[in-house]
Structure 1
Amino acid sequence: MIIGNEIHKYRDEITTGISELVQIRSIMADPEPGKPFGAGVDRALQHMLRLAESLGFEVTNVDGYAGHAEYGQGEEIAAVLVHLDTVEEGEGWTVSPFAGLIENGKIIGRGASDNKGPAVVALYALKTLMDIGITGNRRLRVIFGTNEESGMRDLDYYFEREQLPVMAFAPDAGYPIFNVEMGSMNVVLSSEQEASSTRPKPQLTILSLKGGNMLTLIPQICTASLSLALLTDSQVAYFHDAVNLQENLSFTYDEDGNLLLTAGSEFLADSPTGSRNAIANMVAFLCAQELTTNWDPFLHFLNEKIGAERSGQSLGIACSDSESGALIVYLRTISCDLHRAESLSNIRYPVSHDGAGILATVDGLAGKHGIHIELTRHLLPVYVPETHPVIVRLSRAYKKMTGDEAVLLRMGAGTYARKLRNNGVAFGAGLPGGVDTHVHQADEFVYIDDMMKHAEICLQGMYELLVDELMTES
């Protein structure tokens, strides 16, 4: 049975619903009583639960951590998992990030694509199933999460108190189906400056060094403030020449006479700093200048053991498997001042390997260089085999609505599938060959037509999860 097209009767309501939800600034903030991730996130959760109630659903709010709307009967549960929190708005917007502007066939605003659009669609898909009167042997929930962007602690709490779905999907990536999500660890490497009366003063003093942020995986800019006071005139001239030889570096001076160095991320194929990672470019340049700095051991470790290398070979952690490919390491952020230096690296490892063992290897190597490590986030890998019922059913839904076979894909990023104990996958909402909707960037948007195409597939997928296989052709 094909029902995906039935969702189009709610096109206007979906458009308005996305716009209204975008207008709620649901960014994680300090907790308040009953609002573990702040008032804004809680407003978004309350808004969606009220909307679900108005559509005729029973709803549950699990202490402000997450909530759900439910349809159907049965002991088992299937689910669609969406999130209502967003990253911060950031800079560079040409419109108000929380206006929910509807213009030229688009809805523009923070969260329109990630993940408020799919959240509203999932609720109206559930409503469509109710309208048609389709029931199966299990209940179907739309679960509204509130902490996906900042650690997924919401679903840890939720599933300690609510039943785990036997099948589920998160429309928070793209089509067709992502059945592999690599293990992901955020590891902070840090070093503290120790006072020493015998240590010679560095020739090049790094006053500050900063690059990257948590919104983007590959840092585009890295900046350094450097004191050249202890350099000779010839050393300063040589340093200037070295900067000018690098197309991805530029400099100016501040009012105190400190040199402000900026590294970009453009690709330089024949350069030792040839990487799209601005932090790797900056660190490699500083390490190549034959000038001592106040952070030499730290910078040389980053340069020699990570740098522009993505395989983890120099860290001793390179590995791969047939399901998810090779391990990947990224330098993601760096922050140094006169007292402390730290850099966050993201390690994405294959599903068949042990994250704890990989971390222990990094810890041992870093310790030998006087560098401390701290694991700040660890998302366990996801691997759902192609024979799993959720893959079979969603593949059927995808083919019914598109005519194409559902190719199984893998990703290094993470979705709520991480919390489903290999009973769920990422399915949608981005269309194959679709446009860049500026997720986590300025002027995030979604095309209404694209969201409605996703709505067709989403509804069909929810139908396939709700109804047993023998009933699907009735």
Structure 2
Amino acid sequence: MAYEKEISDYIESHKEEMLNDLMDLIRINSEKGEEKPGMPYGEGPYKALEAASKLLTGYGFKVNNYDNRVITADSYDLPTRLDILAHLDVVPAGDDWTVTEPYNPVIKDGLLYGRGSCDDKGPAVAALYAIRAVKELNIPLKHNVRLILGSDEECGSSDVEYYYTKEKAAPMTITPDASWPLINIEKGGISNEFTAEYEKTDKTPSLVSLKGGIKINVVPGKATAVVKGLKEADVKEITKKFEEETGLKFVFEEDGDNLNIKAIGVNAHASLPHMGKNAIQGLVTLLSKFPLADAPVNNYVKALNNIFPYGDYNGKTMGVDLKDDVSGETTVSFDILEITETHFKGAYDCRASIVANDENTGRVMEQKIREQGFTIPEKPMFEPHVVDGDSELVKTLLKCYEKGFGVTNAKPIAIGGGTYVHHVENGVAFGCEDPEIDNHMHGADEFMVVDMIVKSAKVFADAIVELCK
């Protein structure tokens, strides 16, 4: 690029400042909370937007606040051609952090640890510094680039839905909310909840309760259950064999007539269920092997195992395991479950191949669930998102990626996860994770490679110049 050396030198000289700004944002627990006056997503997301607004104003950007849902930053008084859309909210911290506490960021061995470091505060700050570099180097542009920072991406993106009722999307949009090189296809899918009501039983052995899951788009790493009328010795051999088959771990504690069971798996993003070990599905499958009494609550556990058995990541059991050469396989993850002695509530997340639709997937899943005795509403699937791989946006961005990473013949990819641009016309995900590295996104010890933050900022700056010159 014409300003390659100047931009590279700028980013390198501002590296420590960039990392300090990022760590300040990570220190804010911006998980969605209870709505308060002037804080539509709770105190945490509000504080994150407030901190980012002060940062951007201090760097000379024109900042606008859209009712504490979204803030924007413009650096040129020109028509906007490019939006860069990132988010400052995070998923719940969860347990089992070992390197540091979730909101106490540290840099160790070239990795910056902390909740939000890779999803999506690190990429947001890389984009911020890319725009800042172009602005402060006085690189002449014919079009403005706008940084859009939201605060509800993890819980449905109502923030940008609100923003787009106030403003039009730019002709081109990128979000650094995924992995390199570029994502131009995002699967459609559906998330749905199903329930059951039944009478309490006096029969034993019987399930008293089961609970697991923290979020609909997170494969649960833990789940707990209480069974009345069983001892650990009664199920020891069954459990040992299941642990060997799955890699899951189960911890038992006897409490009078009750047997407390803790299932320990591995968190993962719901779009990649095979990357985790689903503690809920594992616990349900294990319980279905136990000698439980013929009672409604126990029968519902077995019914659940008939549709979501452990190890089925593609909905094969329900007959929805469709795939295509462009977007790949359908995935299904059962991520939320609460069972009491009289009530059942569960929820699943399906990311569907682009050949899937309501007729061959959505309605099929609902019917299979109803056949097992559960109640489930009819809910439409959301559409896939596709941007032409031969468009100016995709071709230009891939060229910038190739230059920045020293590679050739980069191709756009398709994913199951919905990014921030899923409903934005001519929007693609561009950076900023290495697809070969597990950043523990949505899990414990989430991190971002420091060198990747720096390199990403340089590539973003290149893209801004190329698209807005």
For Structure 1 versus Structure 2, the TM-score category normalised by the shorter chain is: 0.7 to 0.9
Are 1:205 and 2:206 an aligned pair? yes
Out of 222, 233, 242, the position equivalent to 1:246 is 242
Q: Distance in 1 between matches of 2:157 and 2:381?
A: 11
Larger radius of gyration between Structure 1 and Structure 2: 1
Out of 175, 183, 189, the position equivalent to 1:170 is 175
5 Å matches for 1:19-168? Answer: 19-93=23-97, 94-102=99-107, 105-168=110-173
After TM superposition, the structure 1 stretch with the greater mean CA deviation from structure 2, 41-50 or 104-113, is 104-113
Q: Distance in 1 between matches of 2:381 and 2:33?
A: 22
Judged with a 3 Å threshold, the aligned counterparts in structure 2 of structure 1 residues 129 and 240 are, in CA distance, closer, same or farther, namely closer
After TM superposition, the structure 1 stretch with the greater mean CA deviation from structure 2, 172-181 or 354-363, is 354-363
Name the structure 2 match of 1:343.
346
Q: Distance in 1 between matches of 2:427 and 2:334?
A: 30
Name the structure 2 match of 1:447.
449
Q: Deviations over 1:268-292 (max 9, x none)?
A: xxxxxxx943333332333334532
SS in structure 1 opposite 2:349?
Answer: strand
Q: Distance in 1 between matches of 2:33 and 2:255?
A: 36
Judged with a 3 Å threshold, the aligned counterparts in structure 2 of structure 1 residues 356 and 69 are, in CA distance, closer, same or farther, namely farther
Q: Distance in 2 between matches of 1:341 and 1:379?
A: 26
After TM superposition, the structure 1 stretch with the greater mean CA deviation from structure 2, 97-106 or 65-74, is 97-106
Q: Deviations over 1:8-67 (max 9, x none)?
A: 232122122112212222221112222211122112112212222222221111111101
Report the count of equivalent residues: 448
Structure 1 residue 118, shift from structure 2 partner = 1.6
Judged with a 3 Å threshold, the aligned counterparts in structure 2 of structure 1 residues 310 and 53 are, in CA distance, closer, same or farther, namely same
SS in structure 1 opposite 2:170?
Answer: coil
Q: Distance in 2 between matches of 1:240 and 1:440?
A: 32
Q: Which amino acid aligns with 2:221?
A: Q
Structure 1 residue 146, shift from structure 2 partner = 0.5
Whether the aligned pair in 2 keeps the contact of 1:76 and 1:137 (CA below 8 Å) is no
Q: Deviations over 1:105-163 (max 9, x none)?
A: 44332222221122122112111111233344432111001011111110100111111
Judged with a 3 Å threshold, the aligned counterparts in structure 2 of structure 1 residues 51 and 10 are, in CA distance, closer, same or farther, namely same
SS in structure 2 opposite 1:413?
Answer: coil
Q: Deviations over 1:410-436 (max 9, x none)?
A: 221221021313x111111113534x4
Q: Which runs of 5+ in 1 are unaligned?
A: 267-274, 468-474
Q: Which amino acid aligns with 1:14?
A: M
Q: Distance in 1 between matches of 2:62 and 2:326?
A: 40
Q: Distance in 1 between matches of 2:202 and 2:394?
A: 61
Name the structure 2 match of 1:260.
260
Judged with a 3 Å threshold, the aligned counterparts in structure 2 of structure 1 residues 163 and 135 are, in CA distance, closer, same or farther, namely farther
Name the structure 2 match of 1:226.
227
Name the structure 1 match of 2:316.
313
Q: Distance in 2 between matches of 1:160 and 1:356?
A: 31
Q: Distance in 1 between matches of 2:111 and 2:237?
A: 48
Q: Which amino acid aligns with 1:395?
A: L
Q: Distance in 2 between matches of 1:136 and 1:80?
A: 16
Judged with a 3 Å threshold, the aligned counterparts in structure 2 of structure 1 residues 107 and 264 are, in CA distance, closer, same or farther, namely closer
Q: Distance in 2 between matches of 1:201 and 1:304?
A: 24
Q: Which amino acid aligns with 2:450?
A: I
5 Å matches for 1:394-433? Answer: 394-404=397-407, 405-421=409-425, 423-433=426-436
Whether the aligned pair in 2 keeps the contact of 1:379 and 1:414 (CA below 8 Å) is no
Structure 1 residue 392, shift from structure 2 partner = 0.9
SS in structure 1 opposite 2:296?
Answer: coil
TM (norm. structure 2) is: 0.86
Matched residues, percent identical? 28
Out of 193, 197, 214, the position equivalent to 1:188 is 193
Name the structure 2 match of 1:359.
362
Whether the aligned pair in 1 keeps the contact of 2:199 and 2:296 (CA below 8 Å) is no
Q: Which amino acid aligns with 2:460?
A: C
Structure 1 residue 441, shift from structure 2 partner = 2.9
Structure 1 residue 205, shift from structure 2 partner = 1.4
Name the structure 2 match of 1:7.
11
After TM superposition, the structure 1 stretch with the greater mean CA deviation from structure 2, 150-159 or 353-362, is 353-362
Q: Distance in 2 between matches of 1:18 and 1:82?
A: 13
Q: Which amino acid aligns with 1:168?
A: T
Structure 1 residue 176, shift from structure 2 partner = 0.6
Q: Deviations over 1:241-284 (max 9, x none)?
A: 43344335645343322122344559xxxxxxxx9433333323
Structure 1 residue 73, shift from structure 2 partner = 4.9
Q: Distance in 2 between matches of 1:88 and 1:290?
A: 36
After TM superposition, the structure 1 stretch with the greater mean CA deviation from structure 2, 129-138 or 376-385, is 376-385
Whether the aligned pair in 2 keeps the contact of 1:183 and 1:355 (CA below 8 Å) is no
Q: Distance in 2 between matches of 1:49 and 1:353?
A: 41
Q: Which runs of 5+ in 2 are unaligned?
A: 267-275
Name the structure 2 match of 1:471.
none
Q: Distance in 1 between matches of 2:353 and 2:49?
A: 34
Name the structure 2 match of 1:270.
none
